[in-house]
A and B are shown apart, each in its own frame.
Chain A
Amino acid sequence: MNPTNTTVAVGTHLPPLALPPISRTTLALFAGASGDHNPIHIDLDNARSAGFDDVFAQGMLSMAYLGRLLTDWVPQAQLRSFATRFVAITPIHAQPTCTGSVVAVDEQTATLDLTVTLADGTVTLAGRAVITHPTTAHPNS
């Protein structure tokens, strides 16, 4: 679903993206695919030696999920900026949900607030994105 100018208004909510629980397999695949080989996310011994009870998800995995939320909503060429703070750790087996809403609109752009929340209510990522309206998207190549 791509919103048109007329459907992007302050208060518009993006369709939420609910993810399955984070498994150790997910973390291992994301380590390889993302190039982040930090063992704290994939090696229990390493996580414990750093003072954690268990491995936890890469922050960039959750940011990638937020990226899916955005590109499910608008073509990527309309994305101008995308920023997140990693405000809490995502434990193994946690179940994240991505949400977003429009908080400002002007003639050229719309600003979105973005959140990743776990099933227990913990907010793990808080972010913001700016998208342009379709007519001012940059070219694909």
Chain B
Amino acid sequence: MAIDVERALALELPTRVVEVERGRLRFFAEAIGETDPIYRDLDAARASGHPDLPVPPTFFFSLGLEGADPFGYLDELGIDLGRVLHGEQSFDYFTTAHAGDVLTLTERFVDVSSKRGGALEFLTKVTDISRDEEPVARATSVVVIRNPDPPPTPVECVEIQGQSMESPRTQRAGEGSE
């Protein structure tokens, strides 16, 4: 089923206010095998000039998943989570955030596109992250929806990805999948 483009672009996503928790940053550091003590140890962070543990580069994506129903927008658009893959992710950084910061996240969909006669659809979401109205970071996410009609199997997806790798500089965003 094709995404209703107008509906997606008009969808009002909730603004989230999230406090960055120190323990959560330690857990994240442990899960990714982080060895740099500034991401785990408060004294080490302070010795490096940080007021608290810094928010690592990709954790802003996790802040966007805070809240009761982070994938709720998929339901609203009639998309089954099992058909969704992460195609692309980018971040722009304006300042460093730390544990204890209260950050505001505002999200919107900015693009919907499709390939292969609608077998693959691409949904682009931008999240602006700020602290006291000061921009902290911007996260841009492209998710790929594998539509069952016609059904692309995982093997076909890999072939598509193989093609995209032949000329990565000239391919548009979101060719692949996680």
The reply to whether A59 and B89 contact each other, CB–CB distance below 8 Å, is yes
Q: Can you name 28 A-B pairs with beta carbons within 8 Å? A: A33-B62, A34-B61, A34-B62, A51-B153, A63-B58, A64-B28, A65-B33, A68-B35, A71-B36, A76-B54, A77-B96, A80-B92, A80-B93, A83-B90, A83-B140, A85-B175, A86-B86, A86-B87, A87-B176, A88-B176, A88-B177, A126-B165, A138-B93, A138-B95, A138-B96, A140-B49, A140-B98, A141-B50
| Contact pick for A60, options B27, B51, B58, B174, CB 8 Å | B58
State whether the Cβ of B57 lies closer than 8 Å to any Cβ in chain A. yes
Which one of A8-16, A24-32, A104-112 is at the interface? A24-32
Query: Given A33-B27, A34-B28, A34-B61, are A89 and B158 also a contact pair (CB < 8 Å)?
Result: yes
Residue of B nearest to A129 (CB): B57
State whether the Cβ of B31 lies closer than 8 Å to any Cβ in chain A. yes
Residue ranges of A at the interface with B (Cβ–Cβ < 8 Å): 19-20, 26, 29-30, 32-38, 40, 46, 49-52, 56-65, 67-68, 70-72, 75-77, 79-90, 123, 126, 138-141
State whether the Cβ of B147 lies closer than 8 Å to any Cβ in chain A. no
The number of residues on chain B lying at the interface, defined by a beta carbon within 8 Å of a beta carbon of chain A, is 57
State whether the Cβ of B72 lies closer than 8 Å to any Cβ in chain A. no
Interface string of B84-110 (1 = CB under 8 A from A): 111111111111101000000000000
Tell me the complex Cα distance, A72–B35, Å: 9
State whether the Cβ of B83 lies closer than 8 Å to any Cβ in chain A. yes
The reply to whether A65 and B32 contact each other, CB–CB distance below 8 Å, is yes
